[in-house]
Structure 1
Amino acid sequence: MEDSQNQRFRRDNANLVSGTDLSRRRRSSAKKQRFKFDFKRSKRLYIALGLIISFLVVVALSATIYTWDQHLIVDGVTISDVDVGNMTMDQAKETMELEVERLLGQTVKLNVDEQVKEVKLEDLGLNVSADAALEEAYQVSRRGTIINKVLAKMKTSEGIKLGLAQEWDEDKLLQRLNNDLGEFNKPAKDASFDINPNNSMAIKKEVVGRVIDTEDLVDRIKDIDIFSQVPEFTVKYKDQLPIVTAAQLEEQKITGLLASYTTRFDPSQTARSENVRIAARAMDKAVIKPGDTLSFNKIVGERTVEAGYKDAYIIVNGKFVPGLAGGICQVSSTLYNTGLLANLPVTQRSNHDLAISYVPLGQDATVAYPDLDLKFNNNTGGYLLVRTKVSSNSVTIELYGKVVQGQEVLISSKIESVIPVEEQRLVDETLAHGASRTTQEGQPGYVVKSFRTIKLNGNIKNTETLNQSKYSPLPKIISVGA
């Protein structure tokens, strides 16, 4: 029995050893199989990777060769239907220059009345340029990555169409149309008038004009398809209405004398008297439109020797001194009073530094070209006509216009204060000791307020305070012997 147990023990141990070896052998075999599998899989991966790399190299080489820059525009590119594919930039430029020249040389026929005017598109202000299109054409398949270049070049097989740039110079177009077609215009004529000997207006009726409708023609020309046959155009006319009509002039016409004012001068002062006459003649028959400004300097102009003006006494810095055109302030002062009496709004006026005698205090107006001016606004709703009359010792200014029936204008002045005369004694070595003589009579200064009163049918409608006038005193000068 003991032997039987020992035998079983030995059998079990033998089986155990045998099982362990078997397991070991199995594990070893599995490792070998896995190694073989991993090796085969790795080999396949390497082969696949090699193939991919080879493919990519081939593709890259093919793409490089396909997009190789031979400095030619790619095949399939056209500019306004002109084929520029496979051309160098210089060749393409030359080709497009000929095309631009052809396009600009096309002629437009303008049928006006029974005549035909032919004008080239270039002369009508058309500008055509191929520069941008040529640059775009040359850059096809040259921008971006190689893939972008390949795709862009492949796309040219479908055709890439580019266009010429075109633009109209509208100023040149209008100028050419006006030059070529201006002879066919019959411009409108405004209503006008002549001044009758009685200072009224003889009105001439307006005329409606007929002129080329350049706006319509410009629009049609700019819509031309320059790549097709250029069409002919029948020129259209439109009426041109006058700006001023006889009906307007009837509303604004001169109906009578608004105001008149006269001042007197010493004819023995020949130079001064001549200056008065020249300035008065310059103002005669001046016409001021409704709403415009009556300006003394604008009407009379610059006072020059060439215009005939002479030296006479003028007031400068509170003194009487010789100066060119002395005396014309009498004309401006006469106009000032006429304008006041015509009830015109005063927009610019300055009084003299010293009081003068030919108009009441506060009613003078000094002028000096070009800035020191006398101005009125013509708010009458009608035209103003200036008439002047000069006698041997007086100047009269009349204003004709649209009379307001029943209107009366009164001008008054009030001395606010008197500035006394100062006496100056100056040594004169030509006089005997103790002797004296008055070389300049003085005159006081004044501060004056002036007023304009408007009456309508005898009733006061308004009283207006005019500009205050301040006159400096003129000193009395006594020369005394040393």
Structure 2
Amino acid sequence: MKKREKKLCIILSGMVVAAIIVAVLFIVMLKKTGGNTIIQGANINGVDIGGLTKVKAQKKIDKYIEELKNRQVIIKYGNAGKESKTTIDKLGFEVEDKDYVDKAYQIGKKGSIFKKFKEIVSCSKKDVTYKLKTNLNEDKLRKFIKLKSKIHNKKMKNSRLKMVKGKLKATKDCTGLKVNVDATVDRFSEKLNSDFNDKKLVLDAVVSIKKPKYTRKMYSKCTDLLGEYSTDYSSSTADRCSNVQTAAERINGTILKPGQTFSTVKVIKERTVENGYKAAPEYAGGKVVSGVGGGVCQVSTTLYNAVINAELEVVERSPHSMVVHYVNVSRDAAISGNYKDLKFKNNTKSLIYIAASAKGGVLSFKIFGEDTREKDRKITFESEIVEEKQPEGEVITVDATKPSGYREVTQSAHTGYNAKLWKIIYIKGVKKKRVLVNTSSYNAEPPHVTVGKQQEVKKEENTKIDKKQSEQKKTETKKNTEKKEED
């Protein structure tokens, strides 16, 4: 009997101890809930709210959400160093309005004491974590990207060369950039939906880049004046002046790449009325006649002298049939049809720029590039007359409408020459070299005279005239098929 009582006493004692332990644990668990506070270990997106009142916990989470929305985002536009800064909120990042704090607060506070105890026991084994549910407003994101693309989109712009107070300057170039809105929205959406917790996001917009063909850096290398030359055309007729200006304007601004050849005939275009040329005096078959485009040979001649001063490579050059008045012998360059052209090559390693000006009766060419010639080296040019050819007799034209005794010289005589052009090279002021540039031959042409119908002519003179006219007729057919040479 005593043994049974003792055993029962032991059992009752154990039960009391167990009850006390359970009671203590329950009290501890209840204490963990803090009464009106949130259970320990509760967090939202890693933000600890355990042991806080509902009000304090809400303030803490609100602050976290605000910081989250204002996290910095750097948007890069290509590799040109262009970027903008914003926040994920402005990119359409949103947090769903759910009462996460209230859910954490309710743990261990509803239902029977055993239900509360069960929740407390369950939560004591691990932290209670809630994840914020987020969304991305793509309409807001698209609107933002479209707005920024208007700022960052740039039209590609090549550098260009222009004259500023007599000096050649290279303008600023610009790399073209265009934002692909749809592709950028897709890329940003994926990134923001996965990495919104990053303290700082770097996003690359989808862009297409168009680099300029000509840059300021490239053009800045060809601003040295290599050579220039000017001639006077102030005594020309209005139509001849117009032709000179038209041809010069078409050459002005020409850029030659290294190794590229310039053709004057191609650049100034065919000399027709449709191309803006007018009838003016020119050479044809030993005569000065009126032809469309008359005067453009002064343009090619002036350009030729600028070219040899710049020491570019002359590929093709022809003298006129007779001497011209605006340059010395062997310094002219005739153009005619497709069989006489002034061509030269950019034999430097940099770009060449040709500036032309025709105003105030002065035609000027300036050739710019990168001057790599020695600073103490200078050049001059010298025309040498090797042979002089005097004209013989007269070319007489009888005008039946003129009275007997009428006589008019319609074209003055032209002396013919064989000539050479030399380039003289000086080093530190000392003549070092004499280089032959070209050889030229110019025809002698007798004066052209118009006489009245009854004008008597000596027999021997008639013989000379008949012989001269016979020779002229032999070549007339051939010469009339050729394009005319401008004076």
Query: TM-score w.r.t. structure 2 length?
Result: 0.49
Which structure has the larger Rg over C-alpha atoms? 1
Higher relative contact order (CA 8 A, sep 6+): 2
TM-score (norm 1): 0.49
